[in-house]
Structure 1
Amino acid sequence: QHRLRTLAHMLTSIRRSVEARPTTKPVIRRQATHIYTSRADARARIAKESPTLQHTETWFETLVSGREYLPTRMWWVVQLVTTSVTLADIYFSNSPPSLFGGAAAAAADGASNGGRADPALLHEVLEGAQVICCQMISAGGPLLSKLGPFHAILVDEVAQATEPATLVPVLARGCSQLVLCGDHFQLPPSCASREALARGLGLSGYERLVSQGVEPLFLDTQFRAHPKLMDFSCDAIYGGRLRSGIDAAARPAVCGFAWPRRAAPLAFLETGGPKGGAAEHAEGESRLNRAEATRLMGVLEGLLAGGDVDCSQVGVVTPYKGQVRLLRQLWRERCGRPRQGGAARKAPLVPAAEAGRLEIASVDNFQGREKEVVLFSAVRANSHGAVGFLSDWRRLNVLLTRARRGLVVVGHQETLRHDPYWRRWLDFAARERVIVDRREWLATLRRAAASCDAASPLLPLLPLLRPL
């Protein structure tokens, strides 16, 4: 809703500027799409830029699902995927490209069958769109150069983009209005070059503006998550300034998992770490934890069996690529897909087409995304308290703010408590009584059985509990 309101505000501003101008002059040179106002010649186009393809897809889905919020009677959204685009690569918001003209429809049909579309027809389709969603670098390509300057450019997740990438759509395309949306309390740009980092390219344009005294407009109300899922980030990360604009009743806990408290769709599953057979292991330069992955897959199966969510509504997140590969392998095996060099397993857990919709990714790749339920594997479980990537509090903030109706974290408390922010979050989870620790439960049951008299029905259980 924040995305839609921001875009709606931009459109309202454009409409007012259009109505204030004489009817004999166009608002911007070479603009072809109408925004419906009292004047028939009101024309403008907005480009929506994102740093990655996943962010672009998220915006596209948001705009398509929320057209009723936008102040226009007709709202066309085109998603531009890559710099070398055919009409087969362009997604339309609500209709086939036939509404953009018969020639464009024919070109789209030909492109979808493996043919190449005429550049003039591509231009015709793009010129008929009011909103174009694309990646930042794609905005600098030749496909958009013929459209002329945009009335407005909205750059999302700008705090995760490098400064040069952010400048590409602004300098290459030009605009009358520019809106930068981002959160510098989440992950910064990914910069692999040490020399580039030393020269300042690890700093986003958003961070630089804030550090130079530019005061950002803080969007102080979140509409994504159950209020209890946002409590920790609100207090520990945003200093109590972030509010929830949605009731808990609108985000009921997802069926298929035994939540410790239904009023708080949050759980931390303790694995026991090295002493409990759940130690981490190195995989090249990465890390993995097979015990955590196995337990997470069990939780995933239960959620899908509950029927409240499907694969596309669940996100599986972890900080390490080694764990991402392991989780994807386990998921393929449980879905009955063949291994790299083996035979198929038993009956699939879900149909193959549905299984492919499950997103398993690293925290860094999940920024800007949201799911009904997020399952997180922390991986780190060792005797010396090393947390690695998890020591970045911004990574924790991204993890905690992706879920709408439920978050399950699988990990080892003793290791994670060596990091100050994780320690604070685990203290929060303990206060909310959402930590599930089998060892403590069994220890309590042992004490209860040992204190019983000879006639107690619990007494025969004592020999069975001791090995556990």
Structure 2
Amino acid sequence: MFYGGKLKTAHEGIGKEVKLLKMWRKSNSIPRVFCHVEGEEETLTVKTKEGNEQSRSNSREIEQVLKVFRHMVTAEGVDPETINVMSQYNAQCTALREELTKKGFDKFNVTTVVSSQGGEWDYVIFSLVRSLPKYLIEKNPTEGWCIQNLGFITDRHQINVALTRAKKGLVIIGNKNLLICDEVWKKLIEDYEEKGCIFDARQFP
């Protein structure tokens, strides 16, 4: 979509087959998944190099990230250093680092989308954070409404960066009911639905 259909995925090594994780069987062996989570976002103040800033986190999404990360490392045997956990919000990244440490993981990558630019990992778990109850989601949202309620995830440049960091598999965690208000995310979700790659968080992995 971003490159007019001209961008092609390279095969890593001639004749070298990329091992598919068992969890992709649920998505017809397509290594892309969207996990639907109707979480509740929280606004927090976090310290950055530039000073304090208002940021957001989502505890339900953190739970799902930990669930997927633990499965990949313990059940699938993936090297944790080949996984990047990503969010556009500093508060979510801080909370994810704390929870991964609490769960006994000492090797992991957690980055913001901005700081991940130029990097690549075998697997990416992308937490979108933003969420609203279904009854508060506008049926015909304006651009201003989308910017206010989806924030950074309406930034096409950042979406492009986030979706192109993974070499072998991508897991997106977010609220699909809210995301379809944005044109880019709506098309992605429609594509994932057509391919059987969308799951309720309770169903995946």
**Shorter-chain TM-score range:** 0.7 to 0.9
1:393 to 156, 161, 180: 156
CA distance in 1, matches of 2:130, 2:102: 24
Residue 63 of structure 2 aligns to which amino acid in structure 1? Answer: T
What SS does the corresponding residue of 2:27 show, helix, strand or coil?
coil
- Give the Å deviation of 1:244: 2.8
Given that 1:260 and 1:267 are in contact with CA atoms closer than 8 Å, whether structure 2 keeps it comes out as no
Residue 253 of structure 1 aligns to which amino acid in structure 2? Answer: L
- Give the structure 2 partner of residue 251 of structure 1: 18
- Give the structure 2 partner of residue 261 of structure 1: 27
Q: Give the 5 Å matches for 1:169-184.
A: none
What SS does the corresponding residue of 2:63 show, helix, strand or coil?
helix
CA distance in 1, matches of 2:76, 2:200: 26
- 2:200 matches 1:437: yes
- 2:49 matches 1:283: no
Unaligned stretches of 5+ in structure 1?
A: 1-235, 336-349, 442-468
- Give the structure 2 partner of residue 295 of structure 1: 64
CA distance in 1, matches of 2:123, 2:25: 12
- Give the Å deviation of 1:268: 0.6
- Give the structure 1 partner of residue 143 of structure 2: none
- Give the Å deviation of 1:243: 2.1
CA distance in 1, matches of 2:63, 2:100: 10
CA distance in 2, matches of 1:259, 1:393: 30
- Give the structure 1 partner of residue 50 of structure 2: none
TM-score norm. by structure 2 comes to 0.81
Residue 378 of structure 1 aligns to which amino acid in structure 2? Answer: L
- Give the Å deviation of 1:370: 0.9
- Residue-by-residue CA offset, 1:347-368 (whole Å, 9 max, x unaligned): xxx5xxxx23x11010111111
1:367 to 97, 117, 120: 117
- 2:3 matches 1:238: yes
- Give the Å deviation of 1:395: 1.0
Given that 1:259 and 1:266 are in contact with CA atoms closer than 8 Å, whether structure 2 keeps it comes out as no
CA distance in 2, matches of 1:434, 1:307: 19
CA distance in 1, matches of 2:119, 2:196: 28
Given that 1:316 and 1:375 are in contact with CA atoms closer than 8 Å, whether structure 2 keeps it comes out as yes
What SS does the corresponding residue of 1:322 show, helix, strand or coil?
helix
C-alpha change, 1:332 and 1:244, in structure 2 (3 Å) is closer
Q: What do you get for the CA RMSD once the two structures are aligned?
A: 2.1
Identical counterparts, % of pairs: 26
- 2:173 matches 1:410: yes
- Residue-by-residue CA offset, 1:190-227 (whole Å, 9 max, x unaligned): xxxxxxxxxxxxxxxxxxxxxxxxxxxxxxxxxxxxxx
CA distance in 2, matches of 1:260, 1:307: 14
TM-score norm. by structure 1 comes to 0.37
- Residue-by-residue CA offset, 1:356-403 (whole Å, 9 max, x unaligned): 3x1101011111111111001110001346110001111111111111
- Give the structure 2 partner of residue 325 of structure 1: 94
Residue 21 of structure 2 aligns to which amino acid in structure 1? Answer: V
Given that 2:123 and 2:168 are in contact with CA atoms closer than 8 Å, whether structure 1 keeps it comes out as yes
Given that 1:309 and 1:372 are in contact with CA atoms closer than 8 Å, whether structure 2 keeps it comes out as no
C-alpha change, 1:370 and 1:427, in structure 2 (3 Å) is same
- Give the structure 2 partner of residue 147 of structure 1: none
- Give the Å deviation of 1:311: 1.4
CA distance in 2, matches of 1:367, 1:251: 24
Q: Which fold has the larger relative contact order, with Cα–Cα distance below 8 Å and residues 6 or more apart in sequence?
A: 2
- 2:145 matches 1:380: no
| Runs of 4+ that moved beyond 6 A | none
